[in-house]
Amino acid sequence: MKALVLNGPNLNMLGVREPDIYGRETYEDLVALCKKAGADAGFDEVAVYQSNHEGDLIDQIQQALGTYDGIVINPAAYTHTSVGLLDAVKAVSLPCIEVHISAVEDREEFRQISYVRAACIKTITGEGLQGYAHALRLLADHLQRG
């Protein structure tokens, strides 16, 4: 069982970026957390990828087909703008869970829209980096149920 964790723009700046909202842990901490949580949830492999470029994220989703069993995605700002990411997740038909570190529902109006959500089996918000661990557990449960 293999999972791909995808992170969108500015998430490489974790720890530096708006720490009151996103916390003080770094992107490297997030990668380590995902690998550990994924192994604990029963994944043989968890790949963690970050890009500031929408097309790179779309390429990663397309290439996941046949390699990974499911996707955890935090599209970051592209959550609120990208039909391309939505279409990519729909195209591969892999189970996908949307994660946001912050409670987007309690933030600005423009963060209330998520395009990718329509292709996701679950959305997790406001749990900090632990939201990724939660998502990986849910994804493993989903995959194991067949």
Distance of closest approach, residue 33 Cβ to ligand DQA, in angstroms: 14
Residue 101 as a binder of ligand DQA (CB under 6 A): the answer is yes
Whether 100 is catalytic: yes
Q: List the end-to-end C-alpha distance of the chain, in Å, as a whole number.
A: 12
111 marked among binding-site residues: yes
Question: Which residue lies nearer to ligand DQA by CB, 82 or 88?
Answer: 82
Q: Looking up tokens 């992107």, which residue turns up?
A: 27
85 versus 143: smaller Cβ distance to ligand DQA: 85
Q: Distance between CA 49 and CA 101 in Å, rounded?
A: 16
How far apart are alpha carbons 60 and 16 in whole angstroms? 26
Cα 93 to Cα 31, 57, 66, 118, 128: the distances in Å are 25, 16, 11, 12, 27
Given 49, 77, 123, 137, the residue binding ligand DQA (CB under 6 A): 77
Which spans of this chain sit near ligand DQA (rule: CB under 6 A)? 10, 74, 76-77, 79, 100-102, 104, 111
**What residues are annotated to the active site?**
22, 100
